[in-house]
Amino acid sequence: MVIDGNHTPLLGRSTASELGILLIGPSVNMINTKGDIVSKYSDLFCGLGKLKDYQLKIYIDKNVKPIAQPTRRLPFNIRKSVEEKLCELEEMDVIERVEGPTEWVSPLVVVPKRNSEIRICVDMRRANEAVKRSRHPIPTVDEILQELKWS
């Protein structure tokens, strides 16, 4: 507690720090901008941001019949851009070409960006119906506080 005036303190700064009562750290008023954070942790913000050395297992409900949806028609004026974007994503190892037949086919969705580029998406609504979801309930604040009460 800080009070105005010229009074003798009960605890000095060094004693309060040693007891863990006074914690000296960055100023509360210090504001980190996006640029500050990116420059400080530049190694975390470089590249594509892919998860490395991990194989994800997606559990599929065998009772759901696979569906090969028809492709959606693309306007002629964006076909070249779509092909270039698909090649770029394949080179970056984001997507891979499928050789041979597959039971599941989901349609491509092309979304225009503001800077006249395109974003490639896939409509996975039908395929997602077959995915078995793992449920991970998040405890409520009350549950966490109750657990902390006894620690």
Q: Is 135 contained in some domain?
A: yes
Q: Is 81 contained in some domain?
A: yes
CA distance 91 to 78: 20
Q: Is 87 contained in some domain?
A: yes
Question: Would the pTM of this model clear 0.75, i.e. be above it?
Answer: no
Q: Taking residues 2-8, what's their average pLDDT? A: 76
CB-CB contact of 138 with 148 (8 Å): no
Provide the residue range defining the domain that includes 78: 50-151
Q: Is 72 contained in some domain?
A: yes
The residue type at 103: E
**Does residue 127 register a pLDDT over 80?**
yes
Q: For residue 65, give the CATH number of its domain.
A: 3.10.10.10
Nearest CA to 128 out of 50, 54, 69 is that of 69
Structure confidence by residue, pLDDT tens digits, 53-98: 888 899 999 999 999 999 999 999 999 999 999 999 999 989 999 9
CA distance 89 to 95: 6
CA distance 1 to 11: 11
Q: Is 59 contained in some domain?
A: yes
pLDDT tier, 151 (very low <50, low <70, confident <90, very high otherwise):
low
Q: Taking residues 38-50, what's their average pLDDT? A: 84
Q: Is 15 contained in some domain?
A: no
**Does residue 26 register a pLDDT over 80?**
no
Q: Is 14 contained in some domain?
A: no
Q: Is 25 contained in some domain?
A: no
Number of domain units in the chain: 1
